[in-house]
Amino acid sequence: MATIKATCPMCGDVDLTPRQVRVQVVEALEESHSRRTYAFGCPLCHEDVEKPADAEVVRLLTSAGVHVDRIAVPAEAREEHHGGPIGYDDLLDLVLWLETHDAIAEDMALSHGR
């Protein structure tokens, strides 16, 4: 079994097994925007340590037997957005607008089986 050397900010260098290390890759549309980290619980001080990892570190840890959790970013998060976030006043305006447009309310009622 491979031994992985990592550095705890409190204890310094520690030896870990592949089962003690977790790798997480949040996959973005462009590879350069992906977020990669590795984490471990220090066997000496028992603190959780998380550090950034580049593609090479992920490759090395994977080759040592560490499991990689890959998280795909949903397409909605990749969409281009314009303007600021929706606020309370925007929601209130929508509710007031919907109260005066009965056709939409009827369509919604029909689609919900009412």
Residue 106 falls inside a structural domain: no
Residue 28 falls inside a structural domain: yes
pLDDT digit string (tens) for 54-112? 989 999 999 999 999 999 888 777 778 888 889 999 999 988 888 887 776 676 676 66
Residue 75 falls inside a structural domain: yes
Residue 20 falls inside a structural domain: yes
The answer, yes or no, to whether residue 11 has pLDDT greater than 80, is yes
| Mean pLDDT on 9-32 | 89
| Mean pLDDT on 2-8 | 93
Residue 104 falls inside a structural domain: no
Q: What does the DSSP 8-state code read for residue 47? A: -
Return all residues near 64 (Cβ < 8 A) that are at least 6 apart: 2, 4, 18
Q: How many domains does the chain have?
A: 1
Q: What does the pLDDT read at residue 77?
A: 74
Provide the residue range defining the domain that includes 50: 4-81
Return all residues near 32 (Cβ < 8 A) that are at least 6 apart: none
Helix (H, G, I), strand (E, B) or coil at 1: coil
Residue 95 falls inside a structural domain: no
